[in-house]
Amino acid sequence: MATVTEPVTLPALSSEEMARYSRHLILPEVGMEGQQKLKAAKVLCVGTGGLGSPLALYLAAAGIGTLGLVDFDVVDASNLQRQIIHSTKDIGRPKLDSAAEKLQALNPFLNVVKHETMLTSKNALEIIRPYDIVADGTDNFPTRYLVNDACVLTGKPNAYGSIFRFEGQASVFAAENGPCYRCLYPEPPPPGLVPSCAEGGVLGILPGLVGVIQATEVIKLILGKGEPLVGRLLLVNSLDMRFRELKLRKNPDCPVCGSHPTVTELIDYQQFCGIVPEQKVASMQNGIPQISVKELKQRLDQGEKVFVLDVREPWEYEVANIGGHLIPLNDLPRRVAELNPDQEIVVQCKSGGRSQRAAEFLARNGFDKVQNLTGGILAWSSEIDPAIPRY
Amino acid sequence: MKIDIPAPLRVYAGNLPCVTVRAGTVSQALTTLFDQYPEFRKHLYSPEGKLRSFVNLYLNDEDVRYLPEREETEVKENDTLSIIPSIAGGSAPGCVPDSEPLN
State pLDDT tens for residues A210-219: 999 999 999 9
Whether residue B94 and residue A245 make contact (CB cut-off 8 A), yes or no, is no
Q: Is the dihedral of CA A303, A304, A305, A311 positive or negative?
A: negative
Does position A240 have pLDDT exceeding 60, yes or no?
Answer: yes
Least confident of A59-63, A156-160, A186-190, B20-24: A186-190
Closest approach of A386 to chain B, Cα-based (Å): 22
Global confidence as pTM: 0.73
The Cα of B8 is separated from the nearest Cα of chain A by a number of Å equal to 6
Distance CA(A106)–CA(A95), nearest Å, equals 16
Active site residue A197: yes
3-state secondary structure of A81: coil
Encode pLDDT of A242-253 as tens digits: 999 999 999 999
Asked if B103 reaches chain A (Cβ–Cβ under 8 Å), the answer is: no
Distance from C-alpha of A220 to C-alpha of B26, rounded to nearest angstrom: 37
Q: What is the predicted pLDDT for the residue at A230?
A: 98
Q: Residue A10's CB: how many other CB atoms inside 10 A?
A: 17
Residues of A in contact with B62 (CB under 8 A): 246-247
Band of residue A18 on the pLDDT scale cut at 50, 70, 90: very high
Chain A, nearest residue to B11 by Cα: A195
pLDDT tens for A37-51 read 999 999 999 999 999
Residue A34 has pLDDT above 60, yes or no: yes
> Cα(A175)–Cα(A179) distance, rounded to whole angstroms?
7
Per-residue pLDDT, averaged over A113-140, amounts to 95
How far is Cα of residue A278 from the mean position of the Cα atoms in its chain?
21
pLDDT at A236: 95
Name the helix (H) or strand (E) containing B42: helix B38-44
Rounded to the nearest angstrom, the minimum Cα separation between B23 and chain A is: 22
Query: B46 versus A367: which is more confidently predicted?
Result: A367
CB-based contact, A357 to chain B, within 8 Å:
no
Q: How confident is the model at residue A193 (pLDDT cuts 50, 70, 90)?
A: low
CA-angle at A242, arms to A43 and A158, nearest 5°: 20
Phi-psi region of A241 (alpha: psi -120 to 50; beta: other; left: phi over 0): left
Q: pLDDT by residue (tens digit) across A177-192? A: 999 999 999 888 777 6
Q: Which of A151, A180, A183, A349 is catalytic?
A: A349
Nearest Cα of chain B lies from the Cα of A194 at a distance, in angstroms, of 6
B21 contacts chain A (CB < 8 A): no
pLDDT tens-digit map of B54-103: 889 999 999 999 999 999 999 999 999 999 988 887 643 333 333 323 32
Which residues, at least 6 apart from A131, have a Cβ–Cβ distance to it below 8 Å?
Answer: A42, A43, A44, A66, A68, A156
pLDDT at position A66, please? 98
pLDDT tens profile A267-323 = 989 888 887 665 454 588 888 999 999 999 988 888 888 999 999 999 999 999 999
Between strands B62-63 and B55-59, the pairing is antiparallel
- pLDDT tens across B32-46, in order? 999 999 888 888 888
Report how far residue B32's alpha carbon sits from residue B81's, in angstroms, rounded to the nearest whole number: 13
Higher pLDDT, B44 or A7: B44
The predicted pLDDT at position A367 comes to 92
Angle at B70 between CA A182 and CA B14, to 5 degrees: 80
Q: Which residues of A touch B8 (CB under 8 A)?
A: 164-165, 194-195, 200
Helix extents (H) in chain A: 15-20, 22-25, 31-40, 52-62, 95-106, 124-128, 141-154, 181-184, 197-200, 206-223, 269-272, 293-301, 314-319, 332-335, 353-364, 376-383
* Residue A73 neighbours by CB under 8 Å, 6+ apart: A49, A94, A95, B91, B92
Specify the pLDDT at position B102. Answer: 30
* Chain A neighbors of B67, CB-CB under 8 A: none
pLDDT tens-digit series, residues A321-353? 999 999 999 999 999 999 998 899 999 999 898
Among the partner residues A48, A192, A247, nearest to B63 by beta-carbon distance: A247
pLDDT of A256 reads 96
Inter-chain residue contact B90 with A163, CB threshold 8 Å: yes
Q: What is the pLDDT of residues B10-19, one digit of tens each?
A: 888 888 989 9
Instruction: Answer yes or no: are the C-beta atoms of B89 and A139 closer than 8 Å.
Output: yes
**Mean pLDDT across chain A, nearest whole number?**
92
Dihedral angle of Cα A27, A31, A37, A41, to the nearest 10 degrees: 40
- Indicate the DSSP class of residue A169: E
**C-alpha distance from residue A18 to each of A30, A222, A291, A316 (Å):** 13, 18, 55, 55
Residues 206-245 of A with CB under 8 A from B: 207, 233, 235, 240, 244-245
Q: What is the ipTM of this complex?
A: 0.81
Q: What percent of chain A has pLDDT over 70?
A: 94
Backbone angles phi, psi at A134, to 5 degrees: -115, 140
